[in-house]
Structure 1
Amino acid sequence: MKQINLIALFLLCFCTTNIFAQKNKKLDIIAYYTGDSKLIDEYEVNKLDQIIFSFCHLKNGKLNVDSAKDSITIKHLVSLKAKNPQLKIILSLGGWGGCEPCSAAFSTNEGRLTFAKSVKEVSDYFKVDGLDLDWEYPSIEGLPGHLYQAADKPNFTDLLKKLRSTLGKKYELSFAAGGFQKCLDESIDWKGVAPYVNRINIMSYDLVNGYSKVTGHHTPLYSTNPKEESTDRAVTFLLKAGVPAEKLVIGGAFYTRTWRNVENVNNGLYQPGEHTDGTSFRDFSTTLTEANGWKYFWDDKAKAPYWYNEKEKKFATADDLASIKAKTEYAKAKKLGGIMFWELPLDKFRDGMVNTIYEVKNK
């Protein structure tokens, strides 16, 4: 009888653990990755659910892996799945400045079908799990000089429809979307695209960017005033637009946006300045230090950190461990599909941003 009770207890614990594990899997940890085949081995891949290889590009209207080095990297990423059964490897098309021919290539029915077929061929060859479209942006201006047109909006919806039809239901399909209001308002037919994708990766960073002449939070969780962009503002908009919560993924930034010639007013926040080179999260502890003249501030309303250097008149904004924790807690509370970030090589190998996300996910 005692033995039967022990077996029953074991089965109960096993089932409970299994249910808990499955429940946790709903919040995916998604890493964009531009590194090579060796750097990835320095990271705790077991804490990731997706690695999005960045980037592939268009060549003659087809999905193209740019080099032999990239091919080796993709093959190595796929090999990691042997030890990490939860891991999915995704190829990404485009990136900032990387989708110059997209508007023209996807402007015809034939062009969209050609691309969809090429994605299947490349995916079958590398045995990857999906595609992430990083077209910045359909129907609104991205990199100055790149073609964009009103027809991009319906063409993008049809492109996703053709990709889903060509690739089948098991294939992961996502796209990166700007978290700023103009993109939310004008770029995408949200209700139209939602049925075809597994996820929408909201780039809830660069909300003030290299073109911004005034400082601000570049990746805040909440808006501090009605005009300020934020993660929550984008999520709220998309939920109201009819996108299911489990298809929304919010973004973290593992790097600063930094301005110089910023006067010491309001500790540099919301002040005029000139954008300059930033810092990777892995270097925060040696760069953004008091010894180097930096002071750390926390905006509790935005749930966002910022730094000001009075001597050098510099201002920096980013995610840190506190803000990425708040974002992960938010994603859990809202039952979102996950957290993605730009990008893994900017993190520490251990005890960094990914580890914080992972710990909050598994609370």
Structure 2
Amino acid sequence: MKQINLIALLFCCILSTTTFAQKNKKFDIIAYYTGDSQLIDQYEVSKLNQIIFSFCHLKDGKLSVDSAKDSLTIKHLVSLKAKNPQLKIIVSLGGWGGCEPCSDAFSTAEGRLKFAKSVKEVSDYFKVDGLDLDWEYPSIEGLPGHLYQAADKPNFTELVKILRSTLGKKYELSFAAGGFQKCLDESIDWKAVAPFVNRINIMSYDLVNGYSKVTGHHTPLYSTNPKEESTDRAVEFLLKQGVPAEKLVIGGAFYTRQWKNVENINNGLYQAGEHFQGVDFKNYATTYTEANGWKYFWDDKAKAPYWYNAQTKTFATSDDLKSIKAKTEYVKEKKLGGIMFWELTLDSFRNGMVDEIYKVKTAK
């Protein structure tokens, strides 16, 4: 009888633990941040779970904070945790064009250990909670001229392992992964890496980028044809690779990509054009107006907006409040780990993209 009671008690404990875990499924709102120590105070930081300071770089193989200004910013970000206990401050290595020495520096066990020890030193000094690796990209071409080699793929796995063993179980470890198929297929050993990281931040934006000679959705939720890159396509691929859903974080874009010399066919979508500088979300309302010649369109299949100006033959693509809402609902539906975005300083101080994400996150 005692044995039966013990089994019943254990079963109840397991059941209650499982129920607790399900009720407390973590949905993180993660902001990449390139601003200074003062600008951050203009934003509603209480709605964020992570701020990723962008960026630190490699100096002689070690993680390096570039300037006194950056040091001040990191210290101020850490101080925000006093009012916002759930907030975690992460430092990021690299960024587009910011990881030129990475392939070489991480090519040996000694180099990887040297870096891991430097991350611990920086983290202990600033009292930050974690590191985000933004190496664009292991094993495949990123910025033209940057070294990449086949060995980057296993070296990245070993890098993540040594970081985890050096920094401990409680340290937040994540990396930014390209959301396009070549990166998904060739850059990372997903099964080997996933157990050692807290989350994978899928850069499900720039899927049509500055090198593209044809317009398209740069950050769609869904593909409109079998060859089109999308957020959902990347997520489904990684789930099939065995990456746990709660470790997957999808990306939102707070900026447009634009093309000029785009003919007025299909409202400019999927047409030839020349890429040029886009617009920050905080300026959409004054830029993409009918008075300026712009028309707004919604692709219901992609769950993505776009704009076309027939007068100037220009096309723009991005996320907006409607598409970021759809992405956030997708995170909840798929029980993913959250949503991140590039980047906070492009948002409005109030009633912007972060606010829309937070409203959907907290809705019952």
TM-score range, shorter-chain basis?
over 0.9
Q: How many residues align?
A: 345
Q: How many angstroms does 1:24 deviate by? A: 6.3
Alignment partner, residue 82 of structure 1:
82
Deviation at 1:289, TM superposition (A): 0.6
1:47-86 matches, within 5 Å, as: 47-86=47-86
State the Cα distance separating 1:277 from its structure 2 match. Answer: 1.0
Tell me the TM-score normalised to structure 2 length.
0.94
Q: Which residue of 1 aligns with 2:121?
A: 121
- Whether 1:153 aligns to 2:153 is yes
Give me the whole-angstrom Cα distance separating, in 2, the residues matched to 1:295 and 1:25: 40
Q: Which residue of 1 aligns with 2:26?
A: 26
Q: 1:81 to 1:140 in 2, by over 3 A?
A: same
Mapped partners of 2:76, 2:21: distance in 1: 27
Rounded to whole Å, the distance in 1 between the matches of 2:303 and 2:116 is 40
AA aligned to 1:249 is: V
Establish whether residue 337 from structure 1 lines up as the match of residue 337 from structure 2: yes
Query: Which letter does structure 2 place at the counterpart of 1:100?
Result: E
Structure 1 contact 24–362 (Cα < 8 Å) conserved: no
Given the alignment of the two structures, is residue 192 of structure 1 paired with residue 192 of structure 2, yes or no?
A: yes
For 2:87 and 2:24, the matched residues in 1 are separated by: 14
Separation (CA, whole Å) in 2 of partners of 1:235 and 1:212: 23
Question: CA separation in 2, counterparts of 1:219 and 1:318?
Answer: 6
Distance in 2 between the 1:333 and 1:20 partners?
19
Whole-Å separation in 1 of the counterparts to 2:196 and 2:270: 39
Query: Under a length normalisation based on structure 1, what TM-score does the superposition of the two structures give?
Result: 0.94
4+ residue segments displaced more than 4 Å:
19-25
Give the Cα separation in 1 of the matches to 2:24 and 2:132.
23
Q: For residues 31-77 of structure 1, give each alpha carbon's deviation from its aligned partner in whole angstroms, at most 9, with x where no partner exists.
A: 00000000000000000000000000000000000000000000000
- Letter of the 1:49 counterpart: N
The question of whether the paired residues in 2 share the 8 Å contact of 1:24 and 1:361 is answered with no
Deviation at 1:20, TM superposition (A): 10
- Structure 1 residues 25 and 31, CA gap change in structure 2 (3 angstroms): farther
- The C-alpha deviation readout for 1:290-324, integer Å capped at 9, x for no partner, is 11000000000000000000000000000000000
Q: How does 1:229-244 map to 2 (within 5 A)?
A: 229-244=229-244
Instruction: Write the mapping of 1:211-250 to structure 2, written as runs, cut at 5 A.
Output: 211-250=211-250
Q: Give the AA of the match of 1:93.
A: L
Aligned counterparts of 1:182 and 1:270: Cα–Cα separation in 2:
21
User: For residues 195 and 293 of structure 2, what CA distance do their matches in structure 1 show?
Assistant: 50
Structure 1 unaligned spans of 5+: 1-18
Contact 1:203 1:251 in 2 (8 A): yes
1:346–1:25 Cα change, 3 Å: farther
Q: State the Cα distance separating 1:21 from its structure 2 match.
A: 12
> Is the 1:328–1:360 Cα contact (8 Å) retained in structure 2?
yes
Structure-1 residue corresponding to 2:13: none
Give the Cα separation in 2 of the matches to 1:21 and 1:260. 50
Among the aligned pairs, what percent are the same residue?
A: 86
Question: SS state of the match for residue 220, structure 2?
Answer: coil
Question: CA–CA distance in 2 between the matches of 1:23 and 1:282?
Answer: 35
Report SS of the residue matched to 2:85: coil
Distance in 1 (CA, whole Å) between partners of 2:117 and 2:137 is: 22
1: CA distance, partners of 2:42 / 2:24: 24
CA distance in 1, matches of 2:49, 2:157: 26
State the distance in 2 between where 1:254 and 1:73 align: 22
Secondary structure of 1:226 counterpart: coil
Aligned to 2:359: 359
SS of residue in 2 equivalent to 1:148: coil
- The whole-number CA distance in structure 2 between the counterparts of 1:259 and 1:24 is 43
Residue 287 to residue 170, structure 1, CA distance change in 2 (3 Å): same
Q: Which residue of structure 1 aligns with residue 36 of structure 2?
A: 36
The root-mean-square deviation of aligned C-alpha atoms, in Å, is: 1.2
Matches of 1:24 and 1:252 in 2, distance apart? 24
Greater CA drift, 22-31 or 256-265: 22-31
Corresponding residue number in structure 1 for 2:137: 137
